[in-house]
Amino acid sequence: MRALYKSAAAPGLELVERPEPQIGPEDVKIRVLRTGICGTDLHIQRWDDWAASAVAAPLIPGHEFYGEVVEVGDLVHDVEVGDLVSGEGHIVCGTCRNCRAGRRQMCIRTKGVGVQRDGAFAEFLVLPATNVWVHHSTIEPEVGALFDPLGNAVHTALAFPVVGEDVLVTGCGPIGLMAIAVARHVGARFIVGTDVSANRLELAKGMGADYTVDVSSHDIHEAQRALGMREGFDVGFEMSGAPTALPRMIENMNHGGRIAMLGLPAERIAIDWGIVVTHMLTLKGIYGREMFETWNAMGAMLQTSQTLHDAVASIVSDRFPARDWEQGFAAAASAGGGKVILDWTEV
């Protein structure tokens, strides 16, 4: 099969021939149709300090995908040949305390698809059947390829009740944009998005943001004044990882406000913990998706809301044949746009 391959612990990827993966009795083999390019994949291509510390090369990267089941193991049930699927990219041990308690997203021995084991930038992928998500309703292939990052957005947006609440979203990259759409879908009152990219702020308005702030030149308090808010934001989604984002968010929260943090900081962040204590703020870390409550929630929302489906589909800004993967990676690295999709029917 054709696959994007990192042959050694060094910068770069190659489109090469690799052996097709073989299934075990509890596995599913998937013909990959579409993949999304994630920031993690860019780190792996560049082979930066994070990649060198976390990734097991040689490796086929990629974890955002949509495909068709072509083979199932003898012990597999509920997944059939011909099913159109996406997949949970965290392979869990099944025996640690959290796994046994049904909190698989908190497994202490998680292995990442496309990070510690071969991933989806290939014509075929093998996953445990328990990680396969079957799409029982019609969705666009590009939307199916976004179920992994959409799950991050849904996990963040549903971390706290948002019905009737005022929501601040710092960071309007693809996941932040989808979180805005989800918050709008479930009934937030005012939603404010912040970024430093004019293009992404415009996209945020299309997702349902009532107001946007370019934090390179404006203050978030301006949004509160413009919307007639008097007591600060009730819920915050910190999606950027920027060192200034969380402190600014904390300054703009109402007493008792709740913050869900998905963005991974690239450096230490100085926080006024006195405000956190005296304003009784709640900060919650978000990683990946709940297995599989998040998947159920996003599947149901997309099935019942064409508006939300179309909003997620609009996140895709570029599509490339898999053979043109270098152009795809360059587009994904340029920032300021939406998601980039590779089409593995054209390899």
Catalytic residue among 43, 135, 155, 185: 43
Q: Is 63 a catalytic residue?
A: no
SS (H, E, C) 241-282: CCCCHHHHHHHCEEEEEEEEECCCCCCCCCCCHHHHHHCCCE
Catalytic residue among 35, 40, 110, 212: 40
Helix (H) or strand (E) holding 341: strand 339-343
Range 212-219 contact pairs with CB under 8 angstroms and sequence separation of 24 or more: 212/172, 215/170, 215/244, 215/245, 215/248
Q: Is 130 a catalytic residue?
A: no
Report the C-alpha gap between 230 and 117 in whole angstroms.
Answer: 50
Sequence-ordered strand ranges (E) for 152-301: 167-170, 191-195, 211-214, 233-238, 253-261, 282-285
**Dihedral (CA of 293, 294, 297, 299) sign:** negative
Question: If you search the block for the tokens 């929501």, which residue do you land on?
Answer: 167
| Parallel, antiparallel or unpaired: strands 90-91 and 191-195 | unpaired
Residues classed as catalytic: 40, 43
